[in-house]
Structures are given as C-alpha cells and as structure tokens.
Amino acid sequence: MEQKNALTVTQLNEYIKMMFDSQPTLNRLLVRGEISNFVNHRSGHFYFTLKDEGSLIKAVMFKSSAMKINFQPENGMRVVARGKVSVFPRDGQYQLYADDMELDGIGALYVAFEQLKNKLAAEGLFDESRKKPLPRFPSKIGIITSPTGAAIRDMINVTGRRYPMAEITIYPALVQGSDAPRSLAAGIRYFNNSENHPDVIIIGRGGGSIEDLWAFNNEQLARFIANSEIPVISAVGHETDFTICDFVADRRAPTPSAAAELAVPDSYELYTRIKAYESRVGTLLSRKLSNGSDRLRILSRSRVLTSPETLFDNLKLRVDRNSDILDASIKSKMTLSRSELKTASGKLSSLSPLAVLSRGYGAVTDADGNIVKSVSSLDIGQKIDVTLSDGSVTAEIINKKEATNGN
C-alpha cells in the first residue's frame, strides 16, 4: 500500500462533489416525496427530509428560495421539489438543494389557500368588528384592476347608469402573474396616500382559473387591504370564486358588476323615493292647511269675535258669582268665629274670681295688697282689706282662730 497517494477526507469529498456537480441530470431535477423532520430555522432556511416507501434524501432550501413558495411546508405533506443534488464536503453527505417546491397533486393550491386563510383568520383580519362601513353616497370611487379587461368596462357601465355623479379613478394594475400582488398592493397604497382620495375602493378582476386568480391570495396584499383607511370592496372572479382578498376586504362582491352596485346607490331609485317623499309631504301640508282653515273658520264664527261685548257680559257674571261666594264665605267664617268666641268667653267666665265672689266668698289682702292665704300669717291688730262681689271693706284683726286637724 503506497500511502503517498492517499487522499485526505476533504479531498475525497471535494472530488465526489465535483463529480456530482458535473452531472447535468443532477443539476436540475424534480423529486417527489413526503416531507419529514421539517425544521424552519431561525435563519429562514428550511431543513427537511424527502422520503417515499423505500428511501429518503436530506434536503435544504435556503431563505431566498423559501420566501418565494406560496405555502408553509409541514411534516406529512407530499411535494415536488426542484433543485440539484450535490455534496456537503464537511459532512461527506449528498443532499438535495431545493430552489422551488410545489404541493403534489391537484389540491396543492387549495392547501396553500387554506393555510393562509387560517393564519390570517387567527390574527383577526377577517373579523366583522374591524370592517368599515361603506359610504351611502360616495362622490369618488377608486378602482384597482386591469385597464383593458371586461371587468373595468362592466364597473364603469354600472356606475354610470346607477350613479352618474360619482367620479371614477382607475389605478391600472396587473391582475395575474408573479408581479400582480405587488402591483395591486401599490394601488391600495396610492389611493390611501392620495390627497384627493376616493370614498371607497374596488379591487378585483374578471373570472378565471384558480391559477389566474392566485394573485388575490397573496398575504402581503391581504395586509394592505386590512390596513386601508378607505373601505375596500373585493370583486374577484365569479360568484363561486373565493379569494383571501374577499375575506379581508370590508365587503365582498360576487362579481365586478355587483361591486359597482354595492359601491353606489341607484339614482333612479333615489329619485323615485324623493318624489314619493315630496308627494307625502305635499299631502301632509295640504291636510294641515285644510285643518287650519276649518278651525279658523269655526273660530271666526264664535260669539267672542262676532259679539265681543258678550265676553264682558260673561266676565261680569263671573265677578257677581265670585262676589256672592266670597260674601257667603265671610258670613260663614264670622258665624263660626262668634260661636268659638262665645264658648271661650263662657270658659273664661267660669274661671273668673268674680264668679267665685258672687257666691258669697271674699278675697283678703294685707296693707301691701298681698293675698292672705292663711290665718297664721295675720297678727292681732293688723288691718286687712276684704273684697266682696259688690265692693270692699277694711277690717282690723281683733281675734284669730286657726283651724286644727285640717278643719
């Protein structure tokens, strides 16, 4: 064994890598398989394994390519990956370097649609509470669509027929292809930043396949619509077509023509309604005037106007009647007062000392006019005054006898 011809491990791996890289078949190929061991690295790179029933191969997709796919890879998904097979010299391991990936089968776009729909719904972008009401009478309408398609003609025709006073501004945008989402989002930004901004925005296009409408399932465009300060109507495809824009917009119209009908009122209907209001108001005014005339005619025939003196006659009668009522009230009050006075006088008389004296009693006072209440307070020789019912006398105490045992 000649050791001088031995290769280092690095040299061997580099040689094998060169052999892989020199094979045209391995430089651009499609590989179908099921994803397992998927890792979405913080760097933005995808690391995963593709496997089938009999084998597996490790794979990597760098951030620049991962950002371009329209779905989020998950374990168990069947995909078709495009890329090249090469060797990572450090590990001595060959792997698939994927630069694109699609879901395998006819439901691939549907899965991508459902993933984005669930993601934005979880963030609340579809909630009715955050959606803005449409203006009832918009003066300016902004339309984001292809300037050459049938959709724009339909919207212009419907708007002109229903509400010709509305001013329409068209933002020409791509509605299909990889650059379409960016072009549509630019239209939303343009109208929101415009000084003469519209009252409502319509964004959409005519019908087509799911691939044709795919630009309206873009996450960035959906966020532009959600953040628009101007109400947005989504009008994509036909009635059975649904896109992410339909869910995030403030209103969804089944067709571009229906979007124009949602955006503006029907001027003929408004005219008819106004005429009906005008007729009703006229009828009410006529009725009011007629009732007023009838009432005025009745009042003009009243005696107050035809014979004003009767008003004073009635007042005189009222004065006489009130005077009689007042006199009667005064008399009644005086009678009651006399009766009350007589009763009080009787009670007062019964309590008067003169009434007591008239029954044979006398009131005794000393020289100072003080009432004498007991014999013990008098002295022999003291003069006293005795008041009787018909006068008074002066007496001198010559003898006194005090009662005993309370007698």
Mean of the per-residue pLDDT values for the chain?
86
Percent of the chain at pLDDT exceeding 70? 92
Q: How confident is the model at residue 357 (pLDDT cuts 50, 70, 90)?
A: low
What is the pLDDT, as a whole number, of residue 49? 92
Give the DSSP letter of residue 145.
Answer: E
What is the pLDDT, as a whole number, of residue 72? 86
Q: Which of 189-198, 239-248, 270-279, 286-295 has the lowest mean pLDDT?
A: 270-279
Q: How confident is the model at residue 131 (pLDDT cuts 50, 70, 90)?
A: very high
**Cα dihedral angle (17, 29, 40, 177), rounded to 10 degrees?**
140
Winning range, highest mean pLDDT, from 76-80, 231-235, 292-296, 353-357 = 231-235
Average pLDDT on 385-389 reads 80
β pairing state of 232-236 and 251-252: parallel
What is the pLDDT, as a whole number, of residue 14? 86
Render pLDDT for 289-338 as a digit per residue (tens, 0 to 9).
888 888 888 877 776 666 776 667 777 778 888 888 988 889 888 888 88
The C-alpha atoms of residue 82 and residue 69 are separated, in whole angstroms, by: 12
Average pLDDT on 330-357 reads 79
Place of tokens 């994509």: 236
Q: How confident is the model at residue 160 (pLDDT cuts 50, 70, 90)?
A: very high
Residue 124 Cα distances to 130, 136, 306, 325, angstroms: 8, 26, 78, 83
Average pLDDT on 340-366 reads 75
Average pLDDT on 217-242 reads 92
What is the pLDDT, as a whole number, of residue 311? 66
Q: Which of 113, 62, 104 is nearest to 84 (CA)?
A: 62
Render pLDDT for 256-290 as a digit per residue (tens, 0 to 9).
999 999 999 987 787 787 778 888 888 888 888 88
The C-alpha atoms of residue 18 and residue 15 are separated, in whole angstroms, by: 5
Average pLDDT on 163-172 reads 94
Q: C-alpha angle 139/191/185, rounded to 5°?
A: 140
The C-alpha atoms of residue 371 and residue 385 are separated, in whole angstroms, by: 10
Rg (C-alpha) for the chain, rounded Å, is 58
pTM confidence score = 0.52
Phi first, then psi: what are they for 133, rounded to 5°? -75, 150
Render pLDDT for 45-102 as a digit per residue (tens, 0 to 9).
999 999 888 889 999 999 999 998 888 888 878 889 999 998 888 888 899 999 999 8
What is the pLDDT, as a whole number, of residue 256? 93
The C-alpha atoms of residue 229 and residue 245 are separated, in whole angstroms, by: 16
Average pLDDT on 358-382 reads 80
What is the pLDDT, as a whole number, of residue 108? 67
What is the pLDDT, as a whole number, of residue 262? 93
